[in-house]
Each structure stands twice: as structure tokens, then as C-alpha cells.
Amino acid sequence: MNHWLIAPLLLPLLAGMLILLLVGRRGVQRAVSIGATAGLLPIAILLVCFAGDDQFGVYQLGNWPAPFGIVLVLDRLSALMLLLTAVLALLVVLYAVNGDDKRGRDFHVLFQLQLLGINGAFLTGDLFNLFVFFEILLIASYGLALHGAGPERTKAGLHYVVLNLIGSSLFLIGVGILYAVTGTLNMADLAVKVAASAPENATLLRASALLLLAVFGLKAALLPLHLWLPALYGNAVAPVAALFAIMTKVGVYAILRTYTLIFPADGAIADVGAWLLPLALLTLAVGAVGVLGSQRLRVLVAYLVVVSVGTLMAGIGLFNVGGISAALYYLPHTTLVGAGLFLLADLIARQRGIHGDHFVIGPPLAQPTQLGALFFLGAVAAAGLPPLSGFIGKLLLLRAVAPEQAAWLWGIVLVGSLAALIALSRAGSRIFWKTEGDRAVAGQASLAHLAPTALLLAMSIAMTVFAAPITRYAEATAVQLLTPQQYIAAVLGVQR
């Protein structure tokens, strides 16, 4: 079973290398990309089944034992993230092969390298290799962000590159401080050595924890490091923006992993983790303001991603089973629905001609019934209205909060939902109802475009139908994260 742990890395790596050799043969490149991405799905399902029995998978590269060698570690959380990435990536690449992949060079190579970096970040058990996989996914994302060219896309991409270069530098400094204090970068070994560290090292450890929080907060678009996201996601090509829906979740994953394993809430550096809840609520509030002020549909969806980050981090910042399980239920919902809305916004913009996705009066859409139904489904899911999964996730979050924190969290979460409802209602009325002129005839969406979009949005219905088993899995994952001794024993148990 252990050898399957490296498959989510080898498959996109080999596919990317093969696609690179197939220059000028776009049809074959597409087939390889779709085949490799589809292959990740059964592998991810297999790994979820393995981790669902509360087993830990540990893969020692080169057969070097931890903490001396590089290890890949599979638990419930990493398995969940691998499955989410596989589902999202497959639907996105099926949408992209209908023409968007031709708008720039090497789309499929960059797509596969992005998957390599994302999967590696979820599986690595070593903090330095988390940095390495971050750099792989970031380098690929730089190329994807510029896919299709254009001045606005280039401007947003440049800001994104500069900010992440600064973030990478801070990441290295934080990692260097940790290594200087503990002599290790294996996450399980760090958990042991940070807990046993001498009091005189507390200041250095706190500095490292703050630096890592800043870096991961940048990746997750946590306030005040969120300003890059609306411009980048709002101007990226639709399949790229949809794939980037998982990018912020890599930052969320890193925060969740680091502050439950290395710097747990009951540890000596617990005060750093205490910043998460207030930052999350501020992120949610600022995102809600951005949603209300958006003048384009894709920018509105981008701000909904910021709101979702605030909601996720609010659950994680509670550092209890209820809060983390609510966040883990809400995480796949917001990722899949957000990606679906980016694709839907693209389909709408194509049928509105020069008006694009701007909230101005334009011609009637060529497919108002199909796109209107999908928009209604996406709006209900994104706003967190019953009975869909967004409502269930937020309800679980509201139930998890302690009485002394309830007023702030309830108020901001509900106001955020209200802001999303108002903004999406306004967008729907201006795009579908307030029209003038002749019905659009150009840009009519084919089944190949509609199917991936509909499937992504329909995931909210599926998550509602299967809410009970998903919630049980999320609760078991939260318990596993809050008892890191199991993770430590799985990685280091043979040596200790």
C-alpha cells in the first residue's frame, strides 16, 4: 500500500515530462493530460479508503528513516485534500480542452506541474519539502496566471509573483530559525522538539511561528495579505481561475497542519495560533465588503473566495473538534462551487459580447434557461442558503463556537452570507433580467462546456445528500489532528 503514496506525485510529473516532448501535437498532449488527471481520481479514492480506517501511510524516499530522510505521510486530512484536488482538476481540464488551452503555450505542462506541487504539499512530512512543493506549484501558477496574455492579466500576475517571492524569502527565514533551534525539519520530529524546547528558545520559536503564519496567510489570502487575489482570479482565464480555487486551500492546509502539529493550541507558542480567529473574522468582513462593491461577476466570485477563506479560518481558529470539522466540511464545498462559478462566469461573459461579465445592461443570453438555472444553483450554494451544503457547513460552524465568542462569529458569518446573497441577487437581475437588444447568438455554450460547470456546482447537492458520512469523516479528521501523538508515532515510532 505504501507505494501508492508516491503515485499522486509521479503521475503528474511523468505526464508533464511526456507532454513537453509532444510539442506541436496538441491532440496527443490533451489526451495525455486528461488521462493523467483522470488517473489521479481512483488513486485518491484508494488513499481515502486507506486513511478512512485511521491508518497512517508513511513512505520513506530512498528508504532513509525519519527524521533523517524525506517522508511522505498520508492521514485523513491529506487524503481528503488529494481527493478534492483530483475531482477539481479533472473537471477543469475537461473544460479547458475545448479551446482555452490554445490561448497560450505549454498549458498542459504547467497544469500537470501545478498538480505535482499541490499534491506534494498535501503529502510531505517535511517542512523544507513543503517549501519545495510550494515553489513548484507557484512557478507553474506564474505561467498559468499569464495564460492568454493581456495587460490586466499581466499586471495582476506581476503583483502575484512579487508578493510570492517575498513570501518565499520569509518562508526560508522561518524554516532556518526552526532548524537552528531544533536541528530538524521533519514535521513529526519538530513537534517533539518544539514541545521539549528550552524556555530561552521561546522567542525564536515564536518568531518562526509568526513568519510561517504570515507566509501561509499570504497563500491562503488571509487579511491583510489578500489583495492579490481578486485581481488575479478576476482576470485569469476561466479554467486557471477554477484550478486556483484549490490554491488558497493549500495555505489553509499548511496553517491547519502547522498549528495542530508543530505549534498546537496547548503548546508554549499557543499565542500565535490565537491570532487566527480575529484575522479570520476580519478577512470575512472585508471580503463581504468586496463582494458588495464588485462590478464584475468574476471579481465578485473572487471576493467570495476571500469570504470562504475567512469562514474556513474561523472554524480552524476555534481549535476544537466542532470548529475544525465544520471547516473541513465547508472546504470542499467552497472549492468546488467557487470553481464552478468561475467557469459559469466565463460562459456568461462569452454570450454578452463586449459587455462581458460587467454588471451593465446587455443583450439577452443565448441560453438563459441553462445558465440561469446554473447561476441560481451556484448562488444558493455560495450564499449558504438552505438546504445546500454551504448552509450545512456554516450551521456546523455556528454550533461549534463557545458562548463568549458567539456574538462576534455569529454576527460576522451571518452578515457575510447576507452580503453574498445581496450581491449575487443583484448580479443575477442585471445579467438575466435587465437586458436590451437582440438575443446573443455568439458564444453559445456546448455540452462540453456546460457539463464540467454543472458537475462542479452540483457537487453542493451531492455534499448535501451525503452530509452525514462526510461530516463523520470530517469529525474523525478533526480528532486525529487534535491528537498529533498518532501522527508522530506513525512517522517516528520505529525509531523511538
Residues 393-433 pLDDT 10s: 999 998 888 887 777 888 888 888 899 999 999 988 888 88
Backbone angles phi, psi at 435, to 5 degrees: -125, 160
pLDDT on residue 494 = 47
Q: What single letter denotes the amino acid at residue 455?
A: L
Are the C-beta atoms of 301 and 233 separated by less than 8 Å? Answer: yes
pLDDT on residue 421 = 92
Please enumerate in sequence order all residues whose Cβ is within 8 A of that of 463, keeping only pairs 6 or more positions apart, or say none.
329, 332, 333, 388, 389, 392, 470
Answer yes or no: is pLDDT of 1 > 80. Answer: no
Cis amide linkage into residue 67, ω under 30° from 0: yes
Q: Can you list the pairs that 266-269 forms with residues at least 24 positions away whose Cβ atoms lie under 8 Å?
A: 267/194, 267/195, 268/194, 268/195, 268/197, 268/199, 268/202, 268/205, 269/194, 269/202, 269/205, 269/206, 269/209
pTM for the model:
0.93
Q: What single letter denotes the amino acid at residue 49?
A: C
Please enumerate in sequence order all residues whose Cβ is within 8 A of that of 114, keeping only pairs 6 or more positions apart, or say none.
137, 140, 141, 144, 243
Answer yes or no: is pLDDT of 249 > 80. Answer: yes
- What is the helix (H) or strand (E) element at residue 209, kind and residue range? helix 202-220
Q: Where are the alpha helices (DSSP H) in 56-126?
A: 76-96, 107-123
Q: What does the alpha-carbon distance between residue 78 and residue 486 come to, in Å, rounded to a whole number? A: 15
- Over range 335-364, report the average pLDDT: 88
Among 212-226, 232-246, 355-369, which is the least confidently predicted range? 355-369
DSSP string, 296-312: BHHHHHHHHHHHHHHHH
Q: What does the alpha-carbon distance between residue 255 and residue 212 come to, in Å, rounded to a whole number? A: 8
SS3 assignment, position 215: helix
Instruction: Report the b/e string of 180-214 with b at 16+ CB within 10 A.
Output: ebbebbbbbbbbbbbbebeeebeeebbbbbbbbbb
Q: Which class for 434: exposed (0-12), middle (13-18), buried (19 or more C-beta within 10 A)?
A: exposed
Q: How confident is the model at residue 89 (pLDDT cuts 50, 70, 90)?
A: very high
